[in-house]
A and B are shown apart, each in its own frame.
Chain A
Amino acid sequence: MNGINVERLSFSYSNRLVFENISFHIGDGEVLAILGPNGSGKTTLLKCLNMLLTPRGSVLVDMQDIQRIEGKHLAKIMGYVPQNHSPVFPYRVIDVVVSGRTPHLGLSAPSGDDFEKAYLALERLNISSLAERAYTQISGGELRLVLIARALVQQPRFLLLDEPTSHLDLANRMMVVKAIKEIAKEGISVIASEHDPNMAALFTDAVIFLKNGTLLASGDVSEVLTEENIECVFGVRAEIVERGGVRYVLPLLHRYDFSSELAST
């Protein structure tokens, strides 16, 4: 079976369990969102898929155990975009993007050919104009796209995105959403963690719900993005409406009984 197969994955920091018994599958060119509230273990799960952390259980890439894949080779098939990146030195955007060629290089610096690939990636994401700018002086959404471009330059088959739309304004979020859809169209599988179900619904086909480190539900958006699951995972009553084939989650403020919550505290 092609793609990534995750079987009974668990991870704990010394004695604190982060998540347990997670299984799912993603095929070529599919998009999967890991949905859950803050602190539900999404980031840790993503890091385990990329061997940044070593979990129990198994992650199989094209039926091959990921622990047996050498780091440099793994970087050729899997790209990773972190949630936070704090730049220290004001490198040019193009230099940051071209560093995605690292797994394809030895000790040598990237060649003209590598730079061309980097420019192409910027073009694909419509941010060519940023190439010469210092990446410390661009907006948060632009920085997120620059890091996605760097991952694309690795020429991966799988892309892991940690909270790709968080801390961004609406225009920047839509910029990222569009980029994810484009990337999937090209046959790259995307796994993205997300805490906003509305954002996830815009870019993903499949969802897994994570709460307190347990997988609560998984499946197509049309099947599992339901009022019951939203309430169960986020503790929020909501109404699901469908517009133009996309599901939207509307949190219902007036159905809240604040008085009982206040009384209990």
Chain B
Amino acid sequence: MKSDSLPKRRVVLEIFFLVLVPALIFIIYMSLGKYSASLFSVFRGNTKARFVSLNVRLPRATEAALFGAVSGISGASLQTALGNPLVSPYILGASSGAAFGAALSIAIFGNVSFLSTQPSALVFSLVAIFLTISLSRFKGHSSKVTLVLAGVIVSALFSGLLSLVQIMTEPEKTQAIVAWMIGRLSTATWKDLMTCTPLAVLGILGLLILRWRIFVLSSGEDEARSLGIQVERDRILVIILATVATAAVVSVAGVIGWVCLIAPHITRFIVGPHPRALLPASLSVGASFMLLADLISRTAWTFEVPVGVTTTIVGAPLFLYLMRRSLYEWN
């Protein structure tokens, strides 16, 4: 009798590609740029190439990959657990809270700083998420519908507060706020990575551990409960893990849109909808997507475009295409 019924050869092939593709993109990413610093010249001992690679390109590539991996798995987990392919951490308020937090600190301290902007973005992102979770509780219960509604409300609230900050502050600061909000990786440093990596890794590991629960949650509230799952508790745990990891990377890179929505959809086309494969694979797809998007941002134009602009311009039509194809396939 077949035991777990997945064709082994296909699984091995998928794993191979999901490791190989991001690794290849990573190598290309490290080699291309305004300054030619191929890995070859780094190993030969070119000190300038070494400096550019280790202190500029490597942290930036790592931040891109981490941002993409977190976005991929967070989006995939939330979409599955809430049974809604349009949900993302941003919809639950993670991004608007972070944007407000960053804006507030820029308005008060006058500049983007590793010591003030990031912690403030992180804290307000978490405030927004917990506000969403508590507002979603109606008569002591939260459902997946009230969660999304609460997320939209909280996002709107923080967008309003953000506008207020922008209006009340000086034009130069407003410019810095807008630049932060678009989302960029050009400022990536090892320090940034040290602040955001622990929470990001915590979120990723937690979601990977919970991926069977996430699958059961997707069968609907009553059914998951009748299968012995504590639906509300597990769902909120998934939301906290996904949004905290997202808040951590957004607090250093800004609001880079569309990745957390699109990466899960691309992943579903490759490995199917089951979280068993979807969650680990979305790490790889998300990282590849971000590395590629940032590579384009760095090299395709004569000037550097913030990666948030690239992901949005590439993301919107791509998402439309994916939606149409999935609607066709699912019906």
Residues of A within 8 A of B (CB): 47, 50, 52, 71-76, 78-80, 82, 85-86, 88-92, 94-96, 99-100, 102-103, 105, 107-112, 115-116, 119, 131-132, 136, 154
Contact = CB atoms under 8 A, between A and B. Distances in A.
Contacts of B84: 88
Contacts of A109: 211-212, 276
A70 B78 CA distance: 27
Interface of B: 1-5, 80, 83-85, 209-213, 215-216, 218-220, 222-223, 225-230, 268, 272-274, 276, 329-330
8 contacts: A71-B230, A80-B222, A92-B274, A99-B216, A99-B227, A103-B228, A119-B2, A131-B5
B218 A88 contact: yes
Contacts of B273: 89-91
Contacts of B3: 111-112, 115-116
B330 A103 contact: no
Closest 8 CB pairs of A and B: A75-B228, A112-B3, A103-B228, A89-B273, A80-B226, A72-B228, A102-B227, A88-B83
Nearest to A74: B228
A102 B216 contact: yes
Contacts of A94: 5
Nearest to A101: B227
Contacts of A47: 222
Contacts of B216: 99, 102
A75 B5 contact: no
Nearest to A70: B228
Contacts of A90: 272-273, 329-330
A52 B329 contact: no
Given A80-B223, A82-B223, A85-B223, 10 more contacts: A76-B228, A82-B220, A85-B220, A86-B220, A96-B219, A102-B227, A102-B229, A103-B228, A109-B212, A110-B4
Contact of A115 (B5, B209, B215, B225): B5
A112 B4 CA distance: 5
B265 to A, nearest CB: 11
B132 to A, nearest CB: 21
Given A102-B216, A107-B210, A50 B226 contact: yes
Interface centre among B2, B3, B5, B83 (most CB of A within 10 A): B5
Nearest to A102: B227
B212 A107 contact: yes
A52 B222 contact: yes
Contacts of A131: 5
Contacts of A116: 1, 3
A52 B229 CA distance: 12
A145 B213 CA distance: 23
